[in-house]
Amino acid sequence: MIENLELILPEIFVSLAIMLFLIIGVYKKNSSSLVYYLSTVSLLVLFALLFNYYSLSESSLFNESYKIDKLATFMKLLTAVSGIFVMLTSSKYIQLNKIDKIEYPILILSSILGMMVMISSNDLIVFYMGLELQSLALYVLASFNRDNIFSTESGLKYFVLSALSSGLLLYGCSLIYGFAESTNFNVIINNTNSANYGLTFGIVFILVGLAFKISAVPFHMWAPDVYQGSPTSVTLFFAILPKIAALTVFIRFLYVPFANMNDQWQIIIVFLSIGSMLFGAVAAIGQRNLKRLVAYSSIGHMGYALAGLSTSTNEGIQSSIIYMTIYLIMNLAFFSCLFMLRRNESYYENIEDLSGLSKNHPILSFSLLVILFSLAGIPPLAGFFAKFYIFMAVIEESMYFLAIVGLLSTVISAFYYLRIIKVIYFDPDMDKYDTNHHFGLKFTLAITTIFILIYFIYPRGLTDLISKIIII
Amino acid sequence: MNFPIISSLILLPTIGALFIFFTRPSSKKYQSSKYVALFISLANFLLSLYLWYIFDKSNVDFQFVENREWLSGFINYKVGIDGISILFILLTTFIVPICIISVNATVTNKLKNFLIAILLMETMMIGVFCSLDLVVFYLFFEAGLIPMFLIIGIWGGERRVYSAFKFFLYTLLGSVLMLIAIISIYWITGTTDVVKLYEIGIDPKYQKLLWLAFFSSFAVKTPMWPVHTWLPDAHVEAPTAGSVLLAAILLKMAGYGFIRFSLGLFPIASEYFIPLIYFLSLIAIIYTSLVALMQEDMKKLIAYSSVAHMGFVTLGIFTMTQQGIEGSIIQMISHGLVSAALFLSVGVLYERMHTRMINKYSGLVLIMPKYAIVLMVFTLGSIGLPGTSGFVGEFLILMGAFKKNFLVATIASLGVILGAAYMLWLYKRVIFGNLINEDLKKLIDLKKIEILVFSSLVFPILFFGFYPEPLINSVETSVINLIDMYNFNINNNLVLKK
């Protein structure tokens, strides 16, 4: 056991980094920007550490309760990359909003640590531990701007509802332990059969808890308020990282211990998926706040990712992972644009604030144009390919109803993306925004937009990487 | 032949657009971006003429095929042309420079971005006409929405936002079903390569649903009655160059799609749905002609006439006769030229008077004699008078229709008369009569550049009217091959059923 500890070197590294930064924070005054800087660097190091693991063969630790395989490593890489970009884009934002405390980067790191544990977990208890570490950090982050009543509200709301869902999840875990006689995924799979209703109940409870974490309909109510109330930098974090982790757990949970019971859970996933796609498309139409709109649109996007998961094929799982990757890139790009809407040290986040942006900020508007068309899934941008892979997998399994609903909600959601484009390009212009953005923000926006724009030239780069992830 | 001539055709406008984007200043007075765009599009036109010249008209197969691996393992970037697509490519590369020349006065702000949008449109349109893979086709087909949405929305008239949204959502809704069908075809047959699909065919039991899915996309784009309502709105609000692109080329994508995909891939379903197409085409021909009669806005009138003309095209395609399909292709080319010319003519008036209402004009012949002559040619071309290219198309279509169904052909012929009625009435009201409006006296006749544009359109309309041989010559082999393949499939299926 001990000789395998090098496999969890990245996790150990992050834990040590967190403790070190806490000590620095305690003993050195005004060290918040130093800690922020160091955390970004440590995420880079984490990325570098993880990079080697992608070529390793599958292995597990601690009585098979912790698994290092391609899926885990890839998702951890995604987490690390998004963490780096989140830190890069939001440094100025947290300074101007006076939330640049030392706890901020430390909380982000601890929640990333929690996610890494979740991603690698092969045991219900390990999984729950990671989930709680992640969630507790997120509760604090949501209410980090404590003088702002909306931020406090969102933190409290997220805490109460999330605690409820964690409770349900834990209840599901205990049911499964009761009926399958183990908490380890590899043991559970040998003790499952579809006729066992206790297990089905357990699965349902766990799926409810997970659906809450990725804000799938009908467990989405918290998302719009939390997205809107939290500081934008935290919203960006919310929109990406917990979803990567939760989706991985979804994959692992459905396809390792309960792969034999897919007749039981498939219908649930299809329902979650259809509900999310339709609701996300329809409910976003009336929104005027961009962060709230992103909340609804991310509900919709999660619906597409789940559609890929419902297929019970490797292609389906891979398409979900591709979707998630492209989704997080699009969200990073979109939030970078939000961070650029700054005038006189305050940030703007309503759709009207974009009015006539194209006259004064042609490059920013062009990026938004690309990002929004990509979110709407119009070819030849990356967002189209994300959806294309999903529908390839879904139609392979002859799930035409799901495909048709999905594509129709694409058309509905195109409407609200178009409306933003309309405001940017067709409406009269307003005052200029500041243009002196820091390098990290510009870099992120440039890199993500270029990725979205030229993805179609060489789509194999991403698919070849992900096609190595084989679950079933 | 190793030089990738088709990819060059597709990519050249994009390269031009990138060049303009990065190097040209966006100040209003500085016009160099226009010359760059014009140069690029003319070069593309010459390239496509060269392609037409070296194209082997007697060869049945697709030529200049390029095949590159794209999405690993299953979808390739495959382009190539046959006798049908070469004509549409020529039409596209011919119309785009004309659009760019005419852009001057109608688009005052952000000229640079407008040119970029038009060049990107050209890439997408050429791509549609020569893609030999369904996914690649879909990509080009849909990607064209983005620049067109912006062209209507940014540079359009008063109700531009409504029209742009309507255009975008209608077309998107139609084509998502096509995407499902394309993916289904992949899982049914294992390929989306059109050439391979022609060879192996698609199981008849799936064909009807797939046909309907493709139809939903093409019917919106054609547009056929009753999903034609986006077209008048889009035309009226789009700037002149946008209307020209829309009428001359975008509508032809659907007609091309019907020939290439509906007929080629789903022959049995096509046979089954012939009555539906006849019915919708006849309604389009008669009903929209009547609607056109009642229009007071010139652009709207021409837009409705486009719907009627496209009704002829769909009718001709689904006669499944050599005359009918050839007639449809020629009608599409001719309509591309004539409608472009008509929209440009309206643009000329709108530039001077800032109104498109018919009742604001009369007696223009007294002031603008050159304009009156030019418009006369275009009106007659739209009516399909012998000696113009419109005649050849309509005549062949009706010939094909009479072969198949006498009643349908008779009703369609009525449409020709109605077409003459609304166009001549429009001409009479605008050109003849007294000068009722004082403002009209200040009008100036066509400028030199406008004469150049219009004469370059008059020439092919008359030339192909008297001598359609080059057009028929290049499509004939491909059309005969298509019909042979079609009949072979139908007969095979009958044998199988027995």
Q: Least CB-CB distance to A379: which of B70, B71, B143?
A: B143
Residue type, B430: V
Cα-Cα end-to-end distance for chain B: 47
Instruction: Name the residue among A355, A354, A298, A353 with its Cα closest to residue A327.
Output: A298
Q: Could you give the angle at which helices B369-383 and B406-431 cross, rounded to 10 degrees?
A: 170
- Which residue bears the tokens 């308020």? A225
Q: What's the rounded Cα separation, in Å, for the pair A306 and A423?
A: 31
Interchain CB contact of B15 with A (< 8 Å): no
Interchain CB contact of B177 with A (< 8 Å): yes
Of the candidate ranges B43-47, B102-106, B300-304, the one whose mean pLDDT is the lowest: B102-106
Q: Least CB-CB distance to B169: which of A396, A411, A456?
A: A411
Is residue B498 over pLDDT 70? no
- The answer as to whether A196 is a domain residue is yes
Query: CA of B247 to nearest chain A CA: how many angstroms apart?
Result: 22
Query: CA of B246 to nearest chain A CA: how many angstroms apart?
Result: 19
Query: CA of B183 to nearest chain A CA: how many angstroms apart?
Result: 6
Q: What is the mean pLDDT of residues B18-37?
A: 73
Interchain CB contact of A403 with B (< 8 Å): yes
Interchain CB contact of A363 with B (< 8 Å): no
Total structural domains within chain A: 1
Taken in order B124, B128, B129, B131, is the CA torsion positive or negative?
positive
Q: Least CB-CB distance to A426: which of B139, B142, B153?
A: B153
Interchain CB contact of B200 with A (< 8 Å): no
Average predicted confidence (pLDDT) for chain B: 85
Interchain CB contact of B138 with A (< 8 Å): yes
In the Cβ-directed half-sphere of A174, how many Cα atoms lie within 13 Å? 5
Residues of B in contact with A368 (CB under 8 A): none
Structure tokens at B64: 């200049």
User: Looking at residue A431, what DSSP letter applies?
Assistant: P
Residues of B in contact with A415 (CB under 8 A): 165, 169
Is residue B1 over pLDDT 80? no
Instruction: Name the residue among B220, B223, B11, B40 with its Cα closest to residue B127.
Output: B11
Q: What's the rounded Cα separation, in Å, for the pair A347 and A362?
A: 19
Residues A69-91 as b or e (16 or more Cβ within 10 Å = b)? bbbbbbbbbbbbbbbbbbbbbbb
List the single best residue of A395, A399, A458 to mutate versus B (max B Cβ within 10 A). Answer: A395
CA distances in angstroms from B92 to A297, B38, B87, listed in the order given: 38, 14, 9
Place B478 in a pLDDT band, splitting at 50, 70 and 90.
confident
Q: What is the pLDDT of residues B397-418, one digit of tens each?
A: 988 888 888 888 888 888 888 8
pLDDT at B456: 87
The contacts of residue A68 (CB under 8 Å, 6+ apart) are A7, A8, A53, A56, A58, A59, A60, A61, A120
Q: Least CB-CB distance to B176: which of A408, A415, A418?
A: A408
Interchain CB contact of A461 with B (< 8 Å): no
Count the neighbouring beta carbons within 10 Å of the beta carbon of residue B272.
Answer: 14
- The answer as to whether A471 is a domain residue is no
Residues of B in contact with A396 (CB under 8 A): 187
Count the neighbouring beta carbons within 10 Å of the beta carbon of residue A472.
Answer: 10
Residue type, B2: N
Q: Could you give the angle at which helices B32-54 and B5-23 cross, rounded to 10 degrees?
A: 180
pLDDT at B24: 63
* Residue stretches of chain A with pLDDT short of 70: 1-3, 194
Count the neighbouring beta carbons within 10 Å of the beta carbon of residue B470.
Answer: 12
- The answer as to whether A418 is a domain residue is yes
Look at B72 and A391 and tell me if their CB atoms are within 8 Å.
Answer: no
A161-164, Cβ contacts within 8 angstroms, sequence gap of 24 or more: A161/A212, A161/A221, A161/A222, A162/A135, A162/A138, A162/A212, A162/A213, A162/A222
Interchain CB contact of A44 with B (< 8 Å): no
Structure tokens at B211: 């046909």
**Boundaries of domain holding A412:** 2-466
Decide: B42 and B97 in contact? Cβ < 8 Å. Answer: yes
- The answer as to whether A472 is a domain residue is no
- Which residue bears the tokens 């034999």? A260
CA B20 to chain CA centroid, Å, is: 26
Q: What is the pLDDT of residues B124-166, one digit of tens each?
A: 999 999 888 888 899 998 888 888 888 888 887 788 888 888 8
Q: What is the mean pLDDT of residues B69-84?
A: 81
Q: Least CB-CB distance to B176: which of A396, A411, A456?
A: A411
Using a 10 angstrom Cβ sphere, with 0-12 exposed, 13-18 middle and 19 or more buried, the burial of residue B294 is exposed
Peptide bond just before B226 cis, omega within 30 deg: yes
DSSP of B412-451: HHHHHHHHHHHHHHHHHHHHSS----GGGGG-----HHHH
Using a 10 angstrom Cβ sphere, with 0-12 exposed, 13-18 middle and 19 or more buried, the burial of residue A98 is exposed
- The continuous run of DSSP H or E covering A61 comes out as strand A59-61
Interchain CB contact of A401 with B (< 8 Å): no
Structure tokens at B357: 């209402």
Share of chain B above pLDDT 90, in %: 1
Residue type, B88: F
The contacts of residue B58 (CB under 8 Å, 6+ apart) are B477
Decide: B304 and B291 in contact? Cβ < 8 Å. Answer: yes
Look at B143 and A467 and tell me if their CB atoms are within 8 Å.
Answer: no
Q: What's the rounded Cα separation, in Å, for the pair A36 and B152?
A: 47
pLDDT at A2: 59
> What is the complex's ipTM, to 2 decimals?
0.88
Look at B165 and A422 and tell me if their CB atoms are within 8 Å.
Answer: yes
Instruction: Name the residue among B136, B129, B144 with its Cα closest to residue B64.
Output: B129
List the single best residue of B148, B155, B176 to mutate versus A (max A Cβ within 10 A). Answer: B176
Interchain CB contact of B209 with A (< 8 Å): no
Interchain CB contact of B47 with A (< 8 Å): no
Structure tokens at A225: 């308020």
Interchain CB contact of A356 with B (< 8 Å): no
Q: What is the mean pLDDT of residues B433-448?
A: 77
Q: What's the rounded Cα separation, in Å, for the pair B143 and A147?
A: 47
